[in-house]
Structure 1
Amino acid sequence: MIERVRAVLVTTDGTMLVIRRTKPDVPEYWVLPGGGVEPSDESREAALHREIHEEIAGKADIVRLLHTMESDYERQLFYLARIATWSFEDGTGPEFSAEGRGEYALEEIPLTVEGLDGIDLKPEEIVHVLRGAISTGSLGGKATL
């Protein structure tokens, strides 16, 4: 089974980092930073740290596992994490140089239901999880995360 890790990266300003994906002939959508767990990764958390470093040249503090999605062929683990510094321009991930992968743009959105409603975040299941967590305050915020 393929395993992927993704991060809900909450900034010190209480925003969330997302990646806007633009591909030819595909409506624009957004994803959370992360990617595949490789055999050389010591743990899922190590894979997430590697992916965050590759994609946004950032270092995050993982708070907790937020949600797991599983199908017959793939497991995705979504972690809540804090991040203070990053540089999308310094990302080194292989996805940036792959032909036909389209464009990647890092954006900050408000960590609110309105912020989520303003983008087409994939997968849809994580949007429902985030809406619920925002509504109950379980994601924290600037002061409480």
Structure 2
Amino acid sequence: MLAIKRVRPGVPEYWVLPGGGVEADDESLEATLHREVWEEIAGRAEITSLLHTLDSDDEQQFFYLARIGTWNFDARSGPEFNRDDRGEYLLEEVPLTTAGLDAIDLKPEKIADEIRKALLADRLKSVSGDL
């Protein structure tokens, strides 16, 4: 599982999954995912399925399962990487196992819980496969 480790002054380190907000010229949620994966890790996503939707009072977040066979973190181009006040973004490969998830502080916690449930129900084979 590709996760971005966030290191920010005064904040305990945590991890997030590649992704971000929908922009006005994004044609669909899937187009948003493709754009964000390219901006954040210079990778190409092969979308497998929607894993989970998180709803809160102010936003809705969609978490997709996808294979990303190649990436080049040095070629990332997202606007957040040009801001010194955003801290560090470090790409890490985390084992797609419950032990791998337990070893990091993946945010939001709810998606970490959903990934654990999917692992326990053996629903992630189509993503992890032979990668």
Instruction: Name the TM-score class by shorter chain.
Output: over 0.9
- SS of 2:40's equivalent in the other structure is helix
Relative to the length of structure 2, the TM-score reads: 0.96
Structure (1/2) with the larger strand percentage: 1
- SS of 1:100's equivalent in the other structure is helix
Cα offsets for 1:86-120 (capped at 9, x unmatched): 01010000010123100000000110000000000
Q: 1:33 aligns with which of 13, 18, 38?
A: 18
Distance 1:137 1:90 in 2: 34
- SS of 1:68's equivalent in the other structure is strand
Cα offsets for 1:57-83 (capped at 9, x unmatched): 100100111100011111100000011
In the TM superposition, 1:123-142 aligns within 5 A as 123-140=108-125, 141-142=128-129
Distance 1:28 1:132 in 2: 24
Distance 1:99 1:36 in 2: 21
In the TM superposition, 1:1-145 aligns within 5 A as 16-140=1-125, 141-143=128-130
Distance 1:37 1:30 in 2: 21
Shift of 1:136: 1.1
Structure (1/2) with the larger helix percentage: 2
Task: Give unmatched runs, 5+ long, in structure 1.
Answer: 1-15
- SS of 1:63's equivalent in the other structure is strand
Distance 2:118 2:58 in 1: 27
Shift of 1:142: 2.1
Q: Matched residue pairs, number?
A: 129
Task: Give unmatched runs, 5+ long, in structure 2.
Answer: none
Runs of 4+ in 1 over 3 A off after TM superposition: none
Distance 2:13 2:105 in 1: 8
Distance 1:129 1:20 in 2: 19
